[in-house]
Amino acid sequence: QKEVEQDPGPLSVPEGAIVSLNCTYSNSAFQYFMWYRQYSRKGPELLMYTYSSGNKEDGRFTAQVDKSSKYISLFIRDSQPSDSATYLCAMRRTGANNLFFGTGTRLTVIP
Amino acid sequence: DAGVTQSPTHLIKTRGQQVTLRCSPKSGHDTVSWYQQALGQGPQFIFQYYEEEERQRGNFPDRFSGHQFPNYSSELNVNALLLGDSALYLCASSFDRGSRETQYFGPGTRLLVL
């Protein structure tokens, strides 16, 4: 079993839709949770960074962490064609330096 | 302010050859991590360098080695290339502040082994 599971999609939505992206994990030691956006043939770009459980909002993006369920989510409101990319969840244990990534979900927002 | 830069952008090698990839961290960052991203997969951690020493290593064979220079830039070396080493190699830099470390990625070097 992988430490981080993520539905690879692909996911297609119309412009303006609310998008929900999710990851589950098995290691309860993960304390730091990130979402990265990766455009085709580019490096991952950090979108959201959260510590432990709770919500964090930044513009159209909201990250949620539910440690009791080992489940994290990223919501994108009013999705735009420019949001079309692969979204990677990543997480890290306290005191460790390496990130564990999901496989990524490919999102397409249709104009 | 330049972000993380990597060179070259693309590389084609044949099996058995050796390759060196280079990374310059974001200004103000002192820590460099390397990841391998196979097609359709998430990045996998190779190792991290801090103060010119390998601080942590992932589950990669000894064919993968690295170096960090006094200016914090870093190299990734892969010996005896295999077809399975074909991937996007990503460098991430961060400023070591313990638990609050956040990693920022470069554009990657795409390696094709024939």
Q: Can you tell me the distance from the alpha carbon of A101 to that of B2, in angstroms, rounded to the nearest whole number?
A: 25
Does the pLDDT value for residue B100 go beyond 80? no
Cis peptide, bond prior to residue B8, ω within 30 of zero: yes
The pLDDT of A8-32, averaged and rounded, is: 94
The pLDDT of B78-104, averaged and rounded, is: 89
CB < 8 Å to B101, chain A: 97
CB < 8 Å to B56, chain A: 96-98
Does the pLDDT value for residue B98 go beyond 90? no
CB contact under 8 A, A97 and B101: yes
Q: What share of chain A has pLDDT > 70, as a percent?
A: 99
Alpha-carbon distances of A16 from A71, A80, A88, B68, rounded to whole Å: 25, 6, 21, 45
Alpha-carbon distances of A109 from A76, B16, B80, B87, rounded to whole Å: 11, 42, 42, 27
CB contact under 8 A, B103 and A49: no
Does the pLDDT value for residue B99 go beyond 60? no
Tell me the pLDDT tens digit for each residue of B37-88.
Answer: 999 899 999 999 999 999 999 999 999 999 999 999 999 999 999 999 999 9
Tell me the pLDDT tens digit for each residue of A57-102.
Answer: 999 999 999 999 999 999 999 999 999 999 999 999 988 889 999 9
Question: What pLDDT, on a 0 to 100 scale, did the predictor assign at position A88?
Answer: 97
Dihedral over Cα of B23, B25, B26, B32: its sign = positive
Tell me the pLDDT tens digit for each residue of B9-42.
Answer: 999 999 999 999 999 999 999 999 999 999 989 9
B39 to chain A, any CB pair closer than 8 A? The answer is: no
Which site among B5, B41, B54, B90 would you substitute to test the A interface, given the most A Cβ atoms closer than 10 Å to its Cβ? B41
- Looking at the partner chain, which of B42, B48, B104 has a beta carbon nearest the beta carbon of A98? B48
3-state secondary structure of B83: helix
pLDDT band at B1 (very low <50, low <70, confident <90, very high): low
CB contact under 8 A, A97 and B33: yes
